[in-house]
Amino acid sequence: MTTITVSNKAMTDHGIAAVTFESDSLPAQTVASLLQRGASHYFGNVFQSGLLSLERKDAAGSGKASDVTEAQLTAWREANTDSRRAMAQKLFAEMVASVNDGTIGMPSERSTEAALSPVERKMRELAIATIRATLAGKSISLPRKFDAQVKGVELPDGNGGTFVPTVDQLIARQLTGPKGADYKHRAEAAIAAEQRAVKALLGEDSGL
């Protein structure tokens, strides 16, 4: 069973409280309709938005993507038809893979770090350490940027093909896989140990 909670600015502006649904209690037609609408949005608006960001970044070169004008973007598109198509196909394949492997919607370090709980942050740290150690054994280095692809690693895309994952996607696979609960347990234990160490250092009367 999955609990779905819906809340957004439009609802809040009109005094409408968050609403919660339990997946097991919803009619099959409702679930199918929500899935279709969600898929249409994800592979439509979200895909187009993601592609636009990639295009602006590429068109900017060493500059800032936000500084790229519409005229410059149009010129870039006209001069890079093949690479733009390849870029779109790659992004789409990654989105399909995220649906099939359960990593869709996972928080990214670069954009949601402040919103993560201490346990979630520690879980990501542990996952990164595991990934780095595994890749080191294969002479593969882990990029410093979380949205960078990890060259030398290929994962199934769910359609018989493969794709090169980003660091974020590798982290998400660790935390949503069979060892997810173990990561949480280790993270909680590590945080508790750190708190005990700080308390011992400051003294029992520190108020911690």
Confidence grade of residue 107 (pLDDT, cut at 50, 70, 90): low
Q: Report the percent of the chain where pLDDT is more than 90.
A: 17
**Mean of the per-residue pLDDT values for the chain?**
83
Q: How many CB atoms neighbour CB 46 within 10 A?
A: 13
Residue 188 predicted with pLDDT over 80? yes
Q: Which has the higher per-residue pLDDT, 96 or 103?
A: 96
User: Under 8 Å CB-to-CB from 29, ≥6 apart: which residues?
Assistant: none
Q: E-assigned strands of the chain?
A: 3-6, 19-22, 155-156, 162-163
CA 130 from chain center: how many Å? Answer: 18
**Structure tokens that stand for 194 in this block:** 């750190």
Q: Quick one: pLDDT at residue 77?
A: 92
| Per-residue pLDDT at 106 exceeds 80 | no
> Which are the contacts of 59, defined by CB distance < 8 A and separation ≥ 6?
65, 68, 72, 73, 76
Residue scoring higher pLDDT (18 or 93): 93
Q: Decide: pTM greater than 0.95.
A: no
User: b vs e for 157-194, b when ≥16 Cβ sit within 10 Å of the residue's Cβ?
Assistant: beeeeebebbbbbbbbbbbeeeeeeebbeebeebeeee
Q: 3-state class of 28 per DSSP?
A: helix
The reported pLDDT for the residue numbered 110 is 46
> pLDDT-based confidence at 169, cuts 50/70/90?
confident
Q: What are the backbone dihedrals phi and psi of residue 145, each rounded to the nearest 5 degrees, phi first?
A: -90, 135
- Strand, coil or helix: 52: helix
